[in-house]
Structure formats: C-alpha cells, structure tokens
Amino acid sequence: MGASWSFQEVFLLFLIGLIVLGPERLPRVANQLGTLVGKARRMTRVMKRQLEEELDVEKNLGFDPKKLVDTPNDDDTYSPAHEAQVESIAKAASDALDVDTEKPREQQGNS
C-alpha cells in the first residue's frame, strides 16, 4: 500500500530539496526523513499485529465464529418463558375481545 511514485516525481522532489536545503543539509534531512518513515512503518506493523491478536476470536474465546449455525429461533427475544408469556397475553387479549381467530370479524355476526 505504498505510494507509487514515478522516477520523474522523485527526481523533481530531489531537485527542489537540493535547491531549498542546499547540498550540505539535504543528506542530513533525507536521513532524518528516512528514519521517521521507518519508525512509522514499524509502529504501523506493531499496531496491526496487536489489533489482529486482539480480534482473534478463535484464539481468545475458544471457538470459530464462522462455524456458528443460525437456529430457527435465533433472536434476542426467544426463550421458552418468553414464548409462553406471549401466548398467554395473546390468549387473554383474545378472550377479552371475544375474537374468534378462525373467522374474520364480519363473519362472526352472520353465524
């Protein structure tokens, strides 16, 4: 992911640096710049390695998340107690409204 610079661009930067800094300071500045770029690359590699280690779920948690299989009732609200509660609320609402779930409301009066 490095920069792809052409020879002309690098040569132009060298000439500008030579004119601005002069022949005495240019090698020293180039050396300092190279050192800074090297340190930045090392820090980037270290941070990338640390991030990969932190995000290694299989190693840290002991399972591979890619092997997890969705279950039919795989949502945040499913549990047998929750399902029973929902069914009892639906039955109570149905009883309170005296609604026959088999027939639409219009057909209830015609029977």
Mean pLDDT of 67-73: 62
Question: In this structure, are residues 65 and 57 in contact, taking their beta carbons and an 8 Å threshold?
Answer: yes
Confidence of residue 104 (pLDDT cuts 50, 70, 90): low
The alpha carbon of residue 41 and the mean position of all alpha carbons in its chain are separated, in whole angstroms, by 24
Q: Which range has the worst mean pLDDT, 35-39, 77-81, 85-89, 103-107?
A: 103-107
- Residue 95 — pLDDT band, cuts 50, 70, 90? confident
